[in-house]
């Protein structure tokens, strides 16, 4: 067991919360371990005992966030497994909006990672995220093809690419509007309906 994992849960939570805030508010290069220490209310030496470098702390936070996203997506996938494709897709799109609304700091870290070069081993992380998206969306589309809700001759890899691109762009723009307090310019229900129609009717 790693030293960090031996800490009391409350102390782990303080360090994680402080780290998420720091990486959300600053890009990777300007994020400060000293600020994490200050936010968490711990000794600087303690933090470096748990995480030798800023990159090791970043990866820990990234993998925690990724685990939370995976659990969230699995729950939505499993709860919608028996629903028609259009209903299922609408719930998945809306759940994406719900997630970034409930986890704005994680969303900020995620979109900065996707759209900038500012993170260690960015390509490896982006490849991992892309693989996760391909598997998740690919499974949703394959289920619909198997049930004759989508054309069985559909190019699944292209469909996943298009759906992923639209979802990522929509959620990024919604998150930016949310950060500015301007989310009312998006009619959430209409956007969910529009994206759902595009892919349920346009792909069939």
Residues 127 and 196 in one domain: yes
Cα–Cα distance measured from residue 192 to residue 189, given in angstroms and rounded to the nearest whole number: 5
Count how many domains the chain has. 2
CATH of the domain at 181: 1.10.357.10
Question: 38 and 67 share a domain?
Answer: no
Measured CA distances, 7 to 13, 19, 43, 56 (Å): 10, 16, 14, 17
Query: pLDDT tens string for the chain (204 positions)?
Result: 788 888 999 999 999 999 999 999 999 999 999 999 999 999 888 899 999 999 999 999 988 888 888 898 899 999 999 999 999 999 999 999 999 999 999 999 988 888 888 788 888 888 888 899 999 999 999 999 999 999 888 899 999 999 999 999 999 999 999 999 998 888 889 999 999 999 888 755
Q: Yes or no: say if 120 and 55 are a contact pair by the CB < 8 Å rule.
A: yes
Q: Which domain holds residue 22?
A: 1-52
pTM: 0.86
Task: Indicate whether 46 and 124 sit together in one domain.
Answer: no
Angstrom distance (rounded) from CA 84 to CA 81: 8
User: Looking at residue 117, what is its pLDDT?
Assistant: 80
* Per-residue model confidence (pLDDT) at position 93: 92
CA nearest to 131, candidates 170, 150, 157: 157
């Amino acid at each position: 067991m790693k030293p960090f994992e031996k800490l009391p849960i409350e102390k782990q939570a303080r360090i994680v919360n402080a780290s998420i805030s720091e990486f959300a508010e600053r890009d990777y290069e300007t994020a400060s371990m000293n600020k994490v220490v200050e936010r968490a209310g711990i000794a600087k030496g303690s933090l470096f005992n748990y995480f030798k470098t800023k990159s090791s702390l970043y990866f820990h936070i990234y993998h925690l966030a990724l685990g939370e996203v995976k659990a969230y997506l699995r729950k939505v996938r499993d709860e919608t497994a028996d629903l028609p494709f259009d209903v299922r897709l609408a719930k998945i799109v809306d759940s994406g909006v719900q997630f970034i609304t409930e986890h704005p700091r994680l969303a900020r870290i995620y979109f900065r990672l996707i759209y900038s070069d500012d993170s260690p081993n960015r390509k490896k992380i982006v490849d991992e995220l892309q693989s996760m998206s391909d598997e998740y969306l690919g499974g949703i589309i394959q289920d619909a093809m198997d049930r004759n809700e989508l054309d069985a001759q559909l190019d699944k890899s292209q469909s996943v690419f298009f759906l992923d691109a639209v979802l990522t762009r929509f959620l990024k723009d919604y998150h930016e509007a949310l950060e500015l307090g301007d989310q009312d310019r998006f009619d959430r229900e209409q956007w969910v309906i529009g994206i759902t129609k595009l892919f349920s009717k346009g792909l069939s």
